[in-house]
Structure 1
Amino acid sequence: MRRQLDLDLAALAVDRHADGWLARGLRVAPLGWRHDANGHLLPGRDPLSDPLGLVVQIAGDTWDAVLVVELSREGWAYPGYYGKAGAVRERRRVRSPGEWDAVLNQAVERASRIRLQQAQLMARTCTTGWLDWIHGELWLTPTCLLRVRSGLMDSVVNSFGSGLPARDQGRTVGYDPDRVLTGHRTNKLIPFPDIARARLRGGITTSSLTVDMRDGTRHKLLWKSSDPARRLLTDRLLPILGARLIR
């Protein structure tokens, strides 16, 4: 039987962090226990006879999302980021007070940088050139294109796949722009207002987008033609670029 966490000790850890959060100008909601299947919270610090978990809410005036961190007595932490565009919820294993401290620190730092947007996955086979063999995901958001590198096994699986569904309703994604760009040299974040001109090409097996930015930099993206990226990019870029979009 797995040993359960001491939620009172976990609450004391939140208290220790709270002074630092408040000094940064953040808002910390009253601590509460989540005590039933509906997730209802009780304000204050009085634990119930059989609490299921601990909840703390943190917000900042410049943040794009409100952070809600839940900790279950079974040792799972759930940092959740909630904004106008929707919510993104994660799961982290917590086995010790040190791991709980790390989850809190990482969640607060991520909340200060995260951007929540409704996005549509256009391709899982996106690369940044003919010599780039590792696939990545290509996302279309209201303000930018986002390319995030995957891995070797994903690339192998995608090579034999049939492509994404033509009609994907999209979902809420949360990303840290700086972390995306520093995560790997082939990751891309391309803001639409910064595009000077672009060229879309379709092929039997591979389609591509070449983008010239206003600052003189250039980006090239390739993907399997079975993915719907070319159609979606045409619909999004044509109203922005007009004649500057070559198809």
Structure 2
Amino acid sequence: MRWLIFFMLLSVANFSFAQKFNFPRLITQTTKPIQSIPKNWKVIDSVQGDLNKDNQKDLVLILEHNTAVNEDRAYGNYEIELITETQKPRILAIYFKDTNNRYRLAVQNNDFVLRSEEGGKMGDPLKGLRIDSGKLTLSFEGGNDWRWKLNYEFEYLQKQWNLVTANNVYYHKDSGEMVDKQYDFVDRTIKTVVGSIFKRNIANDTDEDILVFGSTRTLNDFKKPWTWEVTKDNYL
């Protein structure tokens, strides 16, 4: 009997260890979204602005869990290149505001926002949120000697949060050597600027081409930066 109890306890322990972290489901409608965030979570960034063209100030929040957990995070292809890291999970939440000062949850993405440990020597890669002309921009930056900047611009179109433009800059902090790829998913163009980050408008080579891709990414299906191979060897 003692051995049976031992193996039962061992099985329970192994099951508990293997359990994945469960993200909370945010409240779908509230008058005070910041005060309605789940226990053990906090707001680390926010921005207000009209995102659905109804002249109301909608709200975008980035939440972070208070403690670090083991998370499977993707590098490259999300389906096959997963690395388990211990870090604090983050959530991107967008709320539409109506004329009665109520906020309705428009999207919750648990994967897209980079975590604080994913910026290399530069520290937290999250560089802020911005709403301009009805579009939401998220900016990230990180790296060591070779550094990168990522900007994603989403727009609410036909009830979807479409990625409309993106910018991926890769450069050396000392030499200034740079490759800057600018994606336009509306006009379907990709502009590549090669040269120096210190001389952006002088003597840099610019090439523009047609951008051929499948379906546009949205905030509902975008797992994480660097996981979408837009074209061969071009990741966002």
Q: TM-score band, normalised by the shorter chain?
A: under 0.3
**Normalised by the size of structure 2, how large is the TM-score?**
0.26
**Normalised by the size of structure 1, how large is the TM-score?**
0.26
